[in-house]
Structure 1
Amino acid sequence: MSTARNHGNRTSGLDMMALVPDFFERYFAFFRPGHQEGVVPSRIKELARLKIAAINECDT
């Protein structure tokens, strides 16, 4: 039996990280610098993400 919880047709992201930890370590090593570093401050990037989600009526 899998330890992942099923949320409708989705599996919790934390459950996925537990199932494939090596993949997520590599993913976050790639993702984190672009998310937290760069010319544009992280705060502005997050505000842009929120605005994009609102424009697309995404509430997840």
Structure 2
Amino acid sequence: MANARLIRAGGRTVGLLVRVSSGRFRFFSSTPAVDALDNRVFRSLAATVRAVRDLSPTALRS
């Protein structure tokens, strides 16, 4: 994986995932729908995507 990756949900970009160390990635929210995850550290891209999807689906619409 590259050092940074855009995270998309509901057809739009919701944040940026940046590698901060080996096996650690920090999420930066770009929409209020996922602000609860802002600055959180994840172990993988998949874990980040799961966390975004776990938010209310209606929160990702608008």
TM-score by length of 1: 0.29
Q: Tell me the TM-score normalized by structure 2.
A: 0.28
Kindly indicate which of the two structures has a greater share of residues assigned to strand: 2
Q: Considering only CA atoms, is the larger Rg found in Structure 1 or Structure 2?
A: 1
Q: Which of 1 and 2 has higher RCO (CA within 8 Å, sep 6+)?
A: 2
